[in-house]
């Protein structure tokens, strides 16, 4: 029973953190478990730390980060606050 309650609490916390960001759009390119190179060009997100992910997302938003997918990613994250991006980064990576 304790394991079930712990799982429910963890899922609820993750859902609450991700509530600000539509992860479906991200998973379309990066994979359901974040293990794909998006369009064959990005790093594998599941290999990145939470801090690296947050830095990248906020950099895309500011236009100060990114390679070939910079323009596409800026459009994906522009609508989110830095706090939303920080919270979302905590739910993926290591």
Q: What tens digit of pLDDT does each residue of 26-60 get?
A: 999 999 999 999 999 999 999 999 999 999 999 99
Task: Please tell me the pTM assigned to this model.
Answer: 0.77
Domain interval for residue 82: 2-89
- 90 versus 12: the higher-pLDDT residue is 90
For residue 23, being part of any structural domain is answered with yes
Helix residue ranges per DSSP H, the chain: 2-18, 23-30, 50-62, 70-77, 82-89
For residue 46, being part of any structural domain is answered with yes
Q: What tens digit of pLDDT does each residue of 55-84 get?
A: 999 999 999 999 888 999 999 999 999 999
How many domains, in total, are found in the chain? 1
Q: What does DSSP assign to residue 48?
A: S
């Amino acid at each position: 029973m304790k394991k079930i309650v712990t799982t429910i609490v963890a899922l609820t916390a993750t859902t609450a953190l991700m509530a600000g960001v539509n992860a479906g759009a991200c998973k379309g390119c990066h994979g359901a478990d974040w293990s794909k190179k998006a369009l064959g060009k990005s790093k594998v997100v599941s290999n990145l730390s939470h801090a690296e992910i947050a830095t990248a997302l906020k950099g895309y938003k500011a236009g100060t980060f990114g390679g070939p997918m910079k323009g596409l990613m800026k459009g994906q994250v522009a609508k989110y606050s830095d706090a939303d991006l920080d919270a979302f980064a905590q739910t993926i990576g290591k």
